[in-house]
């Protein structure tokens, strides 16, 4: 079976090419880097220049915008959106319908709640409960 591509025209009229990721069949831009162990749901998108690391998961309807980074074992929930240039740290969870703004940072182990928004350029730190879950706090 050959590689299949899908092409879209972005808001600036630039033609973008996406391929189906082997693990989940989600659409990944040809210039994005997604580890083979990451899961990309068939309804999810990873835009140009984005990076999705080992064991990460992009769930149903998830969208990782251009130049964003999703670190190891992070989870991007149902219909969650990661903004341009944002970083989601190791083992972090972005809840369903949540939004992480452009150039924002979700720290390692943090959990962004359902429907929450992390503003552009801000940082979202883990709570004490998040740290306990990871075994990093008493």
Q: What's residue 111's pLDDT?
A: 96
Can you give the C-alpha Rg of the chain in angstroms?
15
pLDDT in tens, 69-125: 999 999 999 999 999 999 999 999 999 999 999 999 999 999 999 999 999 999 999
- Dist CA 67 CA 103 (whole Å): 9
Which sign does the torsion angle of CA 78, 126, 119, 14 carry?
A: negative
Residue 2 pLDDT grade (very low, low, confident, very high; cuts 50, 70, 90):
low
Q: How many C-beta atoms surround the C-beta of residue 65 within 10 A? A: 19
The tokens for 38 are 């990451």
Say what the pLDDT of residue 12 is.
86
pLDDT of 135 over the 70 cut: no
Q: Tell me the pTM.
A: 0.90
The predicted-structure confidence for 23-69, as pLDDT tens digits, reads as follows 999 999 999 999 999 999 999 999 999 999 999 999 999 999 999 99
- In this model, does residue 129 exceed pLDDT 90? no
Do residues 122 and 101 touch, judged by C-beta distance below 8 A?
yes
pLDDT at 137: 56
What number of other Cβ atoms are within 10 A of residue 79's Cβ?
17
Is the model's pLDDT at 4 over the cut of 80?
A: no
């Amino acid at each position: 079976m050959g590689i299949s591509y899908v092409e879209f025209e972005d808001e600036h009229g630039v033609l973008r090419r996406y391929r189906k990721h082997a693990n989940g069949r989600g659409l990944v831009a040809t210039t994005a880097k997604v580890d083979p162990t990451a899961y990309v749901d068939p309804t999810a998108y990873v835009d140009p220049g984005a990076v999705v690391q080992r064991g990460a998961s992009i769930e149903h309807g998830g969208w990782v915008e251009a130049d964003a980074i999703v670190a190891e074992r992070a989870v991007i929930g149902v219909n969650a959106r990661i903004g341009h240039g944002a970083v989601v740290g190791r083992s972090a969870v972005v809840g369903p319908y949540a939004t992480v703004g452009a150039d924002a940072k979700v720290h390692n182990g943090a959990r962004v709640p359902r429907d929450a928004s992390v503003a552009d350029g801000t940082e979202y730190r883990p709570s004490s409960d998040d740290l306990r879950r990871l075994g990093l706090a008493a």
